[in-house]
Amino acid sequence: MAYAIKAEIADSGAETFVFTAQKTMYGGKRIAVGDTVFLFASETKGGQGLVARGVVTAAEAIPLKPGVERQTPRVSIAVNRTALASRPLGRRELKAFADWQDGRPQTELNFKFYRQATNKIVGLSEPAAAFLAGYF
């Protein structure tokens, strides 16, 4: 399965990344060791969008807090980088894809990452993962 994470990434050229207690949406809570993950440096934190692809080397679900009715599942992951993005892909490139029903991979990415601007881990469809693979 393929996933994507949008988070604060201080050094996009790093060989390894650790993301602690990240929100998950759209199936992101199922991320596991061995999964492919596309890393987006959050534009709200000074990043430029897609920066790298990697493989999950550790994944741990954060336990839900007792007594809290509505909680977003959170996961901590470690990722080894396998490739750097060869061209830009971020909010600016995806903004035009806002017809939520058109089935395009660009629209899926825009919807999952930028409709709600929070940083998060999301699950990807096969077409979206194939689309992102073309950036490496």
Task: Write the pLDDT tens digit of every residue in 54-72.
Answer: 999 999 999 998 999 889 9
SS3 127: helix
Max Cα distance, the chain (Å): 46
Instruction: Tell me which fold the domain 2-133 belongs to.
Output: ph1033 like fold (3.10.590)
Domain ranges of the chain: 2-133
DSSP string, 38-77: EEEE-GGGT--EEEEEEEEEEEEEEPPPTT-SS---EEEE
Does the predicted model carry a pTM greater than 0.85?
yes
- 16: confidence class by pLDDT, cuts 50, 70, 90: very high
Q: Out of 13-17, 41-45, 83-87, 119-123, pick the least confident.
A: 41-45
Tell me phi and psi for residue 27, to 5 degrees. 85, 5
